[in-house]
Copies of this chain bind each other. A is one copy, B any other.
């Protein structure tokens, strides 16, 4: 165990959209093994929000002050992506464990630094991949890893239920700019699905992609992406994501040698073949063989604890060595894949995963150099689990 006093004292750095949600959950006692002791935010109005809603919690202006205050065991980092690296490293070096919001960082290079810092310090670095807690994805993971379905042959994932209005992109001057955020739907919304794809199907070995920038919104980053994957075992995949489709779709199909799995509308359905298709193909004398498959809805435990589940497993890991929902290596692989998709989109080339990190950074810096920092008002929204939000101020 890494903490032996039975409770994890936690500080939340950044109490904007996501950070404030974590604070509300912790303050409401939804994570009984975590005590929220401090928060930090650079913005005066967010500290005012904390003072009003989080009685007894220490409030700092900077993450550094919070880290150096020595009153917590761990921090949750909920600041714009570009500052994940420096705050995480600072916290780890100060002897704190870290739960970092997704994506772990903007570049794989930064993630590597963070991991090295975690390894050097011996402290835990976990990533907020809350969608791993969804019973549907856990059910698919279990099914695929049972071996019952045979090898994966194809993945199709339509993830177009990330709808955002123009107003969303105006909710922070850093948002949806190359300089402030470093990317769009791939970096902000889709890390969840990229992580799940790797978790469920393994790491692709190369990618092709088309990334449309500002296709549906007045933004400089991408809001519409089509990706083609190739996996080491020969499987291929397609993922389509956008923040411009209404009503969107979230439909994951995984085709295997012994059947297929479809996750849509809150259900996982499984088609099971009696035989392995790879054997049928070469043994059947029916040119138009039709499958006799049984279709069933996968039973799950029904649990979908999202951020609360990730925070609870973080605490359980620190207190009792239980497994994390997702660790730093998961975050690293996700951003490696993400970087490769960007590079594929920017170059039009097929890109091997992991991508050339220097080339990715060189091209990102080109984008940043011509990025127009916005002059929008800093709106902050109250987010709930469904992803809807009400204007907070």
Contacts and interface: CB of A to CB of B under 8 A. Distances in A.
B277 A164 contact: no
> Mostly helix, strand, loop or mixed at chain A's interface?
mixed
B154 A286 contact: no
Contacts of A350: 348
Nearest to A158: B156
Interface string A227-246: 01000001010101010111
Interface stretch (A93-101, A109-117, A287-295): A287-295
Interface in A298-351: 348, 350
A284 B167 contact: yes
Given A240-B156, A245-B255, A246-B273, A168 B287 contact: yes
Nearest to A275: B246
Given A167-B287, A387-B288, A247 B226 contact: no
A388 B288 CA distance: 5
Contacts of A163: 288-291
A391 interface: yes
B165 A160 contact: no
Interface residues of A, number: 64
A217 B287 contact: no
Nearest to A164: B287
Contacts of A259: 247
Contacts of A291: 163, 246-247
B288 A166 contact: no
A319 to B, nearest CB: 34
A257 to B, nearest CB: 9
B255 A389 contact: no
A260 to B, nearest CB: 6
Interface of A: 153-154, 156, 158, 160, 163-168, 171, 208, 210, 212, 215-217, 224, 226, 228, 234, 236, 238, 240, 242, 244-249, 251, 253, 255, 259-260, 262, 271, 273, 277, 280-282, 284-291, 293, 348, 350, 379, 381, 383, 386-391
Given A153-B245, A165-B286, A247-B293, 13 more contacts: A154-B240, A154-B242, A160-B255, A163-B289, A164-B289, A171-B287, A238-B240, A245-B255, A245-B277, A285-B391, A286-B389, A288-B383, A348-B350
28 contacts: A158-B253, A163-B289, A163-B290, A164-B287, A164-B288, A164-B289, A165-B281, A165-B282, A165-B285, A165-B286, A165-B289, A167-B285, A208-B208, A208-B210, A216-B281, A217-B281, A238-B238, A245-B255, A245-B260, A246-B273, A246-B291, A247-B271, A247-B293, A249-B262, A286-B389, A288-B389, A290-B388, A348-B350
The 5 closest A-B pairs by CB, nearest first: A168-B287, A247-B291, A246-B277, A165-B284, A288-B388
